[in-house]
Amino acid sequence: MAYTMENFCNDCRSEIDGNKGAANLDAIRGHLEKLLTNEDFIQEHCSPDAEVGTHELYHDEETDFLLLAHIQADGRTSPPHDHGASWAIYGQAVGWTEMTEYDRKDDGTEDGHAELEVRKKYRLEPGNAGYFASHAVHSIHFPEKSRFIRVTGTDLTKLATKRFDMKDSSFTLMTPDMKEGAAGSGSAQ
């Protein structure tokens, strides 16, 4: 029997402490890789004729995690950014996504200033999943027609996050009122 979205959501719920916001990210990553082997799930949510955009597949009221399908028409490279106080796990369904992780080299005391250095780069192929802990600075790059499933600890549009500019060694604090849409309509960051 195939590992279903319901199985995945139940397993995720058991890996998240809703009171503390803590989650076993590696275990959830493993569960997401299992879900990505379910061809019916991929066909239903990530097929070539799936509607372009970000679609909320599930929101757990108890622990607040979200399961989202990101259907991309165009390729994109995000600027380095974080997800604020939330974590995020990306699972590749179609195409690929290049993940880049950064370390901050400054001490964080100067407002709006940040010096970043690439720590790690890797590519997610279909069936692979990777994660970013809360406040982890990262960027993603994917070609047109890529599709991935993302699990987040909460609705990222409701959090303050940082967007970094490596050329200027700066960052901008992105408050919720600066972001467009909700979890089901935002861009893939």
Query: What predicted TM-score, i.e. pTM, was given to this entire model?
Result: 0.90
User: What one-character DSSP code corresponds to residue 125?
Assistant: P
Alpha helices in the chain (DSSP H): 5-15, 25-35, 39-46
Q: Looking at residue 1, what is its pLDDT? A: 81
Distance CA 96, CA 130 (A): 12
Angstrom distance (rounded) from CA 56 to CA 109:
37
**Is 108 within the bounds of a domain?**
no
Q: Using an 8 Å Cβ cutoff, are 82 and 136 in contact?
A: yes
* 159: amino acid identity, one letter: L
In a domain, 130, yes or no: yes
Overall domain count for the chain: 1
Whether 51 is covered by a domain: the verdict is yes
pLDDT score for 17: 83
126 CB contacts (<8 Å, ≥6 apart)?
36, 92, 93, 94, 95, 96
- Distance, in Å, from the CA atom of 157 to the CA atom of 183, rounded to the nearest integer, reads 6
Q: pLDDT digit of tens for each residue in the chain (189 aa)?
A: 899 999 999 999 999 986 666 789 999 999 999 999 999 999 999 999 999 999 999 999 999 999 999 999 999 999 999 999 999 999 999 999 999 999 999 999 999 999 999 999 999 999 999 999 999 999 999 999 999 999 999 999 999 999 999 999 999 999 998 876 434 334 455
Q: How many residues does the chain have?
A: 189
Write down the H helix ranges in 36-189: 39-46
> Rounded to 5 degrees, what angle do the CA atoms 16, 32, 54 make?
95
Structure tokens at 76: 């994109």
- Would you state the structure tokens that stand for residue 143, as one six-digit string? 């070609």
* Residue 126 belongs to some domain of the structure: yes
* Structural domain boundaries, residue 21: 5-103+117-157
**187 within domain boundaries:** no
Inside any domain, residue 82: yes
**67 lies in some domain:** yes
> Is 61 part of a structural domain of the chain?
yes
72: CATH: 2.60.120.10
For position 183, what pLDDT does the model report?
42
For residue 21, what pLDDT is reported? 60
> What is the signed CA dihedral for 107, 111, 117, 121, rounded to 10 degrees?
120
Q: Of 163, 177, 176, which Cα lies nearest the Cα of 82?
A: 163
